[in-house]
């Protein structure tokens, strides 16, 4: 899998149970392979969000997916603006961000870094 850099910016690290948070993510392809977009079929690359317990234990691997707006060549940059649904139960959680080649693997399985951030749901 190609390596990448992920830099999400969340306007708030708190949310209402069953609500959603607005997220803006800038993603840079620092690898040597082009990431195929949503119309590419198997292997298309999407931005994925996993939901973890506050202590980091995985709750939902496929919590939310966001398709890339187009293929991203090596050195290319893309930006995503989306809303991410929140759990219906109040509590402390983590959102874990990364890329996934659909039907193949999460990029982190190939050594790419992910980014997690705590969020309080009330």
Per the prediction, the chain carries an average pLDDT of 89
User: 73 to each of 23, 34, 53, 111, how far by Cα in Å?
Assistant: 23, 4, 34, 19
Q: What is the DSSP letter of 2?
A: -
Task: Please give the pLDDT value at position 11.
Answer: 41
- The rounded distance, in Å, linking the Cα atoms of 89 and 59 is 12
pLDDT tens track of the chain, all 122 residues?
455 555 555 444 789 999 999 899 999 999 999 999 877 778 899 999 999 999 999 999 999 999 999 999 999 999 999 999 999 999 999 999 999 999 899 999 999 989 988 899 99
Q: What is the pTM of this model?
A: 0.85
Q: Which residue has the tokens 């931005």?
A: 47
Nearest to 79 by CA among 88, 70, 92: 70
pLDDT tens-digit map of 105-119 = 999 999 998 998 889
Q: Name residue 100's beta-bridge partners.
A: 46, 106
102 burial type by CB count under 10 A (0-12 exposed, 13-18 middle, 19+ buried): middle
């Amino acid at each position: 899998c190609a390596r990448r850099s992920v830099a999400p910016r969340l306007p708030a690290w708190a949310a209402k149970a069953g609500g959603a948070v607005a997220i803006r993510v800038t993603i840079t392809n620092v690898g040597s392979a082009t990431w195929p977009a949503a119309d590419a079929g198997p292997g298309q690359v999407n931005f994925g969000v996993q939901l973890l317990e506050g202590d980091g234990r995985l709750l939902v691997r496929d919590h939310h997916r966001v398709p890339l707006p187009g293929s991203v060549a090596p050195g290319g940059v893309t930006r995503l603006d989306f809303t991410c649904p929140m759990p219906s139960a109040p509590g402390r959680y983590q959102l874990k961000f990364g890329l996934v080649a659909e039907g193949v693997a999460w990029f982190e399985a190939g050594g790419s870094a992910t980014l997690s951030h705590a969020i309080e749901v009330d």
